[in-house]
Every structure is written in C-alpha cells, then in structure tokens.
Structure 1
C-alpha cells in the first residue's frame, strides 16, 4: 500500500517565500563581499589628490590596507574605547593655509597621497575637532590614530 502525502497550500507557499528570501539574502551578501574599495580623487584647483576611505568590516579593512603602499598619509578614526568611527569631516591645508584636501564622510580608515610639504590636518567628528601638523618629505609616511571621547 502506497502512502499519499497532502501538504497544506499555505505551508508550501510559506516554504517557497522563505526560500526566495533566503536566496535573495545570500545573493546580496555575495555581492557585498565582492565589492571592492576604489581609490577616489579629490580635485582642488590644479592638483588631484588620490585617497581611499572606508574600513568597516574585516574584508574592507584588508582591501584598504593592501593598497596602503600607494598612500603616504594613513589615518584611523576611533573613540577612546577603540571603536572605529565613520562620518568624519577632514580638511588638510598646506603651509600657506590653502585647502589641498577636503572630505565630509570619511573613516574609519583614510589614506591620502600628498606631495612633499608641511600640512595641517583638521578632523571633525560630532562637532569636536582634532588638529595635527605633519611634514612629508621624500618617502616619508605619516600614520596617526585620531581619537575622540566616546559618545561625542
């Protein structure tokens, strides 16, 4: 004797819907994993400044760090507890107080390629500004972790 199974159409419909959602989520995360962090260009007057920013998540951090040799300024934004921060506004001016780089949504990693010179960096997060002066000459690189108090 052969058994016959009857499935409730509601159960079948729910199973199909759940399967479709799961497949969509899987496909979406695969696209995110394959997304690459692309270098960007900031154009100011006659100069083009190359930079790269991002770094939320291990894969994005690894992509940015793999490109670090192309940049001579390496900045990391975090709070004092060590949590990474994004949405940091950055302005870099030269020794003549002329803006050479500006970006309004950077972090937690920001790598910039600047020509030799002396620069002033202002990084603002939640209306709190940190300032720093640095000099680049030859193959010099500058690495700095800029921190803000948690909750600011």
Structure 2
C-alpha cells in the first residue's frame, strides 16, 4: 500500500502552504489584484464623456433646458429635440462666431428668476411657460442680456 504524501511535498524548497515565506507572496498577489481592480474602476470613471452623457434635459421649476452642440452628433441630437422646446439661444464670441460654453445663464420673467444654470455647450434649448423672458448671460465676467419670447428658437448672444 502506498503511503500518502503530504501536500507540502509538492511545494518547492522547504516552504509550506502556510509558512512565513508564503505570506509575502500572498500579500504581493493581493496587492497586485487590488491595484488592477482600482485601475479598472478609475479608468471606467474617467472615460471620455459621450454626447449622450452630457446632453441631459434638466428641469428647474417650470423650466426645462438642454445645452450642447459642439460636436456634430450633439448638433444632430439637439436638432431632433428642438420640436420639444419653445426657445433656443446660441452663445458665440468674436467676429467669426466661435462657440462658447460654460456661460452662466439666468432666465427671468417679470423680474423674477425662473431658472439659472451654466451651459454645457454653445446652444441651449429651453422649454418654459408661454411669455416673454429676459436672458441674462455672463461669460468671463462680461454680462450680456436679451429679451426673447416663447417661439424664438434662433436667438444669439455674442461677446
């Protein structure tokens, strides 16, 4: 009858499965696995945003808005959504009309602020109750304003 060999017989040298020499190797493997998982999580969180991620319809009280329009797919998406909104404004600068984003916008009606937001692109579509609104926009500390009514979809503020 064959005598059963202990498991330690298969390990190299005089190491055992739970010896002190095995602990640093286990720790290194655990550290490598943890670093790989952390890298995957960080890479997923920092992936480049797609237009669909950025162009979210936001609501503030009775007003809904969506901003975007730098990339071709964003412009196409805004064109598709335009029928669902009753106002539109484009923010540009200079003689060539370069697109602006990160413009602080305040929408007021009869002196009362109805909505305020920071644009995520040069074109904003706004859905608001019928009436006339004053759009006060600030870009790099320079304020501009325009008065528009619902139904106006091609307003423009240029710095």
Please report the TM-score for the alignment, with normalisation by the length of structure 1: 0.65
Whether the aligned pair in 1 keeps the contact of 2:60 and 2:115 (CA below 8 Å) is: yes
Note the aligned Cα RMSD (angstroms): 2.2
Q: Which residue of 2 aligns with 1:54?
A: 68
Counterpart position of 1:92: 107
Aligned residue in 2 for 1:82 = 97
- SS of 1:67's equivalent in the other structure is helix
Residue 111 (structure 1) shift? 0.6
C-alpha distance in 2 between matches for 1:117 and 1:34: 30
Aligned 8 A contact 1:78 1:84 in 2? yes
Does residue 141 of structure 1 match 2:152? yes
Distance 1:54 1:33, change over 3 A: closer
Q: For residue 59 of structure 2, what is the aligned residue in structure 1? A: 41
TM-score (norm 2): 0.63
Shift of 1:32: 2.9
State the Cα distance separating 1:117 from its structure 2 match. 1.4
Q: CA deviation at 1:134?
A: 2.1
Change (3 A) 1:58 1:120: same
Higher radius of gyration, 1 or 2: 2
- Asked if 1:125 corresponds to 2:139, the answer is yes
Question: Residues 26-61 of structure 1, C-alpha deviation per residue, up to 9 Å, x if partnerless?
Answer: xx67x7376573211113xxxx31111112211111
What secondary structure sits across from 2:98 in the alignment?
coil
Q: How many residues matched?
A: 113
More strand by share: 1
